[in-house]
Amino acid sequence: MARSDTSKGCGEGAIAFAPHDHARCRRAAIEDARARCAAAGLRLTPVRERVLEILLESHAALGAYDVLRRLTDEGAVPQPPIAYRALDFLVAHGFAHRIEKLNAYVACTASAETHDPVFMICRDCKAVAELPSAPVARDLEREAERIGFDIGRTVVEAEGLCPGCRAESAS
Amino acid sequence: MARSDTSKGCGEGAIAFAPHDHARCRRAAIEDARARCAAAGLRLTPVRERVLEILLESHAALGAYDVLRRLTDEGAVPQPPIAYRALDFLVAHGFAHRIEKLNAYVACTASAETHDPVFMICRDCKAVAELPSAPVARDLEREAERIGFDIGRTVVEAEGLCPGCRAESAS
DNA sequence: GGGTCTCTGTTACAAGATAACTTTTCGATT
DNA sequence: AATCGAAAAGTTATCTTGTAACAGAGACCC
Ligand SMILES: [Zn+2]
Ligand SMILES: [Zn+2]
Ligand SMILES: [Zn+2]
Ligand SMILES: [Zn+2]
């Protein structure tokens, strides 16, 4: 098996659910964002980078107002649009994702351009794992073709219990 | 092909996108709800039935406040909890579904107990088609097993253009 | 015909999101 | 370096979506 480690220096899939060197995880994600912005001529401004850092503090999803509160703690008293604009930028360019089920946001853990991943959301510890969507996307595309539907974007989210929390609750 | 017609007297899949006898569609859905409630000892009260009827007026998704407005037009001045409670009941028992991407609700078009279907949402005419989720659910289950995740509920929604609106925009 | 439980009515508010306008910052151009 | 235009940040105000909490009415069971 031993697939090579391509996701920003983190694990091979459900990094969010596995114990790992998260400090490294964060650094890698920030550096990746910096690099990709530089390459694409995007401006990773201080607010935007700070919001990404806040999201990267854990693999749990944060609401826009959670992010805003964290910004507020740091001096200024930012208003909602500040957080929403930064989040919109991060989502638009694939550095973060919006979790529809939670009205919340997570940092991306799968270095790539914009993509429509599959998310697994732990209802206990709130961690969100991002998985490649290839098989699911194929099925959806097949169904869509059958009925003549032209798919733009997809939302695929599963809510349940992560390995860690299963172990705990089974005790 | 000619699969037999099992969905509440409507078509074989994307009924929402196909021209059809919608009056019959509505009647069938209401009668099905009455029958299933009677069988299961559930109370399809006037508010609940009225809300289901409102959702059934079209295959587009309605926000809770849209539903509330429609109720308000009819005399009394109901408050949000009225609509939310009725919608919660309908969703809990599979008579309607919540579309996370839209924060809105649609009547179910697939006679069955609670289920986690796949939705295709037309960004133009706002119609929402409900499709069986078997293949997608299998993929998700396989992925979940791989990483040790225990799936509870799933959200699978695709936004795009329905056959009808594709034809129009291609003109 | 009393007790319990579910549903409804009502108030009040929390949480999520955006419209619209002003000021600042940045980067390119002269 | 001064100027200009575009993009981002700051600000105000408002809108949409969703709940908590409690009081009253009605159904249902004995
Ligand atoms: Zn990590
Ligand atoms: Zn967990
Ligand atoms: Zn119909
Ligand atoms: Zn359409």
| pLDDT per residue as tens digits for the range A45-100 | 999 999 999 999 999 999 999 999 999 877 778 899 999 999 999 999 999 999 99
Q: Which CATH class is domain B15-170?
A: mainly alpha
Banded model confidence at residue B6, pLDDT cuts 50, 70, 90: very low
Q: In chain C, which nucleotides are within 7 Å of a protein Cβ?
A: 6-13, 15-20, 26-27
For chain A, which residues make up each domain, given as ranges? 15-170
Give B21 to chain A, closest Cα distance, Å.
18
Q: Where are the alpha helices (DSSP H) in B18-162?
A: 22-40, 46-55, 64-72, 80-92, 134-147
User: Among residues of chain B, what percentage have pLDDT more than 70?
Assistant: 90
- Does at least one atom of strand D sit less than 7 Å from the CB of B78? no
Query: The dihedral of CA A48, A53, A56, A61: what is its sign?
Result: negative
Report the pLDDT averaged over residues B143-155.
95
* Pair of tokens at residue A18: 């596995």
pLDDT at residue A85, as a whole number: 98
Q: State in Å: Cα A152 to ligand 4 middle.
A: 13
Integer Cα distance of A44 and A52 in angstroms: 10
Banded model confidence at residue B5, pLDDT cuts 50, 70, 90: very low
pLDDT at residue A29, as a whole number: 95
- Over chain A, what is the mean pLDDT? 89
- Over chain B, what is the mean pLDDT? 89
